Chain A
Amino acid sequence: MLAALAGQAAAEPVASDDDSVIIGADPGWRIEDVQVRASFFDQHGRGFQSQAGDDTPGSEYMYMFQPSALITVRQSANIVHQLMVPVDAITAASPDAVDAISTASRRNIAFDFDLRSKYKVTEHDTLTSRFMAHGEEPMGGGVLGAGWQRGLADDNATVGVNGSIGIDGFDDHDHFGDFLGKTARETLNANVSASQLLSPTTVIDGSYGVTYQHGTLRTGWNAVPTTDGLLTDEVLPRGRVRQALSARLAQFIPLTHSTVKAQYRAYHDGFGITAHTIEAMVYQYLAPWLYVRGSYRFHHQTGVDFFTTAIAKPFDDMTTLRTADSDLAPFDANEWSVSASTVRGRGPFKLWSFSAELMRYTRTNDLRITVGSLSFGRPL
């Protein structure tokens, strides 16, 4: 959409002749910036939905290599595209589980093609668009989105709205791994957001979003234990409304060359999950070109109304809602990360930037993930 607008923009250049004298002629399409990151995920834990291993709950052991790239392309003075291409190479996800029938979790490659564009229509108004395609065995899907953002009071404040529609198509399975045919789910999402400068060192922003999902929301091969020691299929509602409200404060401290950020998020959905998440981040400059970052995040969620680790008979095979998915269970999650980053344009690396991060995520219902990442980038 924005590419089409770009053609119109080229035909009707916003910059006047006087501007071109001052800032030069618009050079047109060019790659502005490239960043590359490689992350390694190591996951351990157990969940009742998994049939991997000999015990119940089953293993959730997995490791994954994720290279990703972020390419910023400037089309004109007013239009910028940002393309993100993450590739998830899952080298072992519950390889002995029933879902290995599709080989989806034995060895899998998943990719995203995520293109976000910004078109500065006027000094105060910006249009955004998003096109995202996702592919992996045994599913594929995409998202189309658009938004508008307006700066107020000399950009002391901004307000914005955006929305998107997404469709996923995938193979449906039962908990034995038998193929049940093709199925799909649809997603509608709308958000409003605002930001406000509170002082020369303080900014606050917030957003509210609502998402409606419809279709096959379950993961086909997830199993639910019964009280007599057998397993049955997961059954989820076919619709889900999800709402989230978040606020974030960022404070720069000139005296110590530090930045502190705090974030709170509240969430509720039609499955009955209520969640609260707080996160704090501290950035400290060690040199004008080098800073370290430490963060801590705490997440608490209630489980869905129909979560069970042993459903009692009798129940209706087709209609009785049930899941043993550990992701839909009540739990607390703790996450911390530390990283060191250089600032491009400063210090010995000139235009290059480098970053290294170690992250640890743990849940109270037996899940532990460690992530190590390296990244680098430079403007072109």
Chain B
Amino acid sequence: MKARVLWLLVAIALVSACRIVPRNRRQHLADPTMQPDEDVLRDRAHAKIHTAREGASGGDGEPAGGGCGCSN
């Protein structure tokens, strides 16, 4: 049952993805809080901990390990 609900939600998301959002309706998407990199230096400081102290860091968008000498 849970799996069916999950697939239904995924299907809804994909169907809605076909909708085009015109540029003149993207003011909320341009809000500073909506940006994926709204604070690069903060994200770097957080990543410093994850990279140095979690063996499961990296691998997605960034090279994993290397550069810190900490077994990652």
Contacts of A156 in B (CB 8 A): 20-21
Interface residues of B in 14-72 (CB under 8 A from A): 16-17, 19-23, 25-26, 28-29, 31-34, 36, 39-42, 44-46, 48-50, 52-56, 58-67, 69-72
Closest Cβ of chain A to B23, distance in Å, is 7
Option from B21, B31, B44, B67 in Cβ contact (under 8 Å) with A68 = B44
> Which residue of chain B has its CB nearest to the CB of A171?
B69
Contact (Cβ within 8 A) B71 A187:
no
Contact (Cβ within 8 A) B53 A367:
yes
| A205 CA / B60 CA spacing, docked (Å) | 13
Known contacts A37-B41, A248-B36, A325-B71; A143/B63 CB under 8 A: yes
Known contacts A343-B32, A355-B42; A208/B71 CB under 8 A: no
Q: Write the residues of chain A forming the contact surface with B, with a CB cutoff of 8 angstroms.
A: 35, 37, 39, 41, 66, 68, 70, 82, 84, 86, 88, 104, 112, 134, 136, 138-139, 141, 143, 145, 153-157, 162, 164, 166, 168, 170, 185, 187, 189, 191, 193, 196-201, 203-205, 207-211, 213, 217-219, 222, 234, 236, 240, 242-246, 248, 250, 252, 254, 259, 265, 267, 269, 271, 273-275, 277, 283, 285, 291, 293, 299, 301, 303-304, 323, 325, 327-329, 333, 335, 337, 339, 341, 343, 355, 357, 359, 361, 363, 367, 369, 371, 373, 375
Closest Cβ of chain A to B31, distance in Å, is 6
Contact (Cβ within 8 A) B64 A252:
no
Contacts of B6 in A (CB 8 A): none
Contacts of B19 in A (CB 8 A): 198-199
Option from B23, B34, B60, B66 in Cβ contact (under 8 Å) with A207 = B60
Size bracket of the B interface: 35 or more
| A201 CA / B44 CA spacing, docked (Å) | 26
Contacts of A234 in B (CB 8 A): 71
| A245 CA / B61 CA spacing, docked (Å) | 10
Known contacts A153-B20, A199-B19; A209/B60 CB under 8 A: yes
Closest Cβ of chain B to A160, distance in Å, is 10
> Which residue of chain A has its CB nearest to the CB of B52?
A327
| A138 CA / B70 CA spacing, docked (Å) | 12
Q: How many A-B residue pairs have CB under 8 A?
A: 203
**Secondary structure type dominating chain B contacts:** loop
| A373 CA / B41 CA spacing, docked (Å) | 10
Option from B13, B41, B52, B64 in Cβ contact (under 8 Å) with A84 = B41
| A361 CA / B65 CA spacing, docked (Å) | 20
Contact (Cβ within 8 A) B26 A213:
no
Contact (Cβ within 8 A) A217 B65:
yes
| A302 CA / B40 CA spacing, docked (Å) | 29
